[in-house]
Amino acid sequence: VDPTGRKDRTLERFKAAAQEAGVKMTHQRLEIFRELATTEEHPDAETLYRAVVRRVPTVSRDTVYRTLAMLGGLGLVTPLGPQREGVRFEANQEPHHHYVCVECGLVRDFESEELSRLRVPTAVTRLGTIEDAHVEVRGLCARCQRGREKPRSPSKSRGTSERSTS
């Protein structure tokens, strides 16, 4: 399930992207990225840190956080779910789907007969029961497109994009 060494290739892609973006390639960054690109898990920063610290005993949590932000900026790593300042909730129990803005974290429900009819591959049942299946669409919401006049989080620049063209 990995004909050419996809992982090695991914590592090369990382090095190339880093060089192109003008960021330095350090031992830490390489190991952090390697760990994330290698694992089946979808670890949080702490878990990642614990894994990386085994190979690079001197890394600090800060570096993991900073590297993750940097990798996110390069588009090489994706944070799961909406970018939030906290866990978010909904009461809508009807079948529906989510639109999530990758910039400000806006979440909107939308309905779709077609999407709600989607068939989950039976192989998934090997992972566990299926309580719900819905589509998550990610993109840049209208407001954030509109010149970023009033982004939801004006201050904290969640290193998602900007960079380079300074």
Partner DNA sequence: ATGGATGCAAACCATTTGCAGTGTA
Partner DNA sequence: TACACTGCAAATGGTTTGCATCCAT
54, 107, 42, 49: which is closest to 80 by C-alpha? 42
Interaction of residue 20 with DNA, rule CB under 7 A = no
Q: Taking contact as CB under 7 A, which single stretch among the options 54-62, 103-111, 121-129, 142-150 is the one that binds DNA?
A: 54-62
HSE of 71 in the Cβ direction (CA atoms, 13 Å)?
27
User: With respect to DNA, which residue has the nearer C-beta, 87 or 127?
Assistant: 87
Residue 54: which of DNA, its own copies, none does it interact with, CB under 5 to 8 A by kind?
A: none
Contact track, its own copies, 147-166, x by CB under 8 A: --------------------
117, 79, 118, 116: which is closest to 101 by C-alpha? 79
Site for DNA in 21-40 (CB under 7 A): 23-29
Q: Residue 101 gets which letter from DSSP?
A: E
User: With respect to DNA, which residue has the nearer C-beta, 25 or 133?
Assistant: 25
Site for its own copies in 63-122 (CB under 8 A): 68, 71-72, 75-93, 98-99, 101-102, 107-110, 112, 114-115, 118-121
85, 75, 90: which is closest to 138 by C-alpha? 75
Each residue of 113-139: b (16+ CB within 10 Å) or e? Answer: eeeeeeeeeeeeeeeeeeeeeeeeeee
User: With respect to DNA, which residue has the nearer C-beta, 26 or 161?
Assistant: 26
The letter for the amino acid at 1 is V
163, 158, 162: which is closest to 82 by C-alpha? 158
Site for DNA in 81-120 (CB under 7 A): 85-87
Residue for token pair 């910039």: 103
Binding residues vs its own copies (CB under 8 A): 10, 33, 36-37, 40-46, 48, 68, 71-72, 75-93, 98-99, 101-102, 107-110, 112, 114-115, 118-121, 123-124, 126-142, 144-145
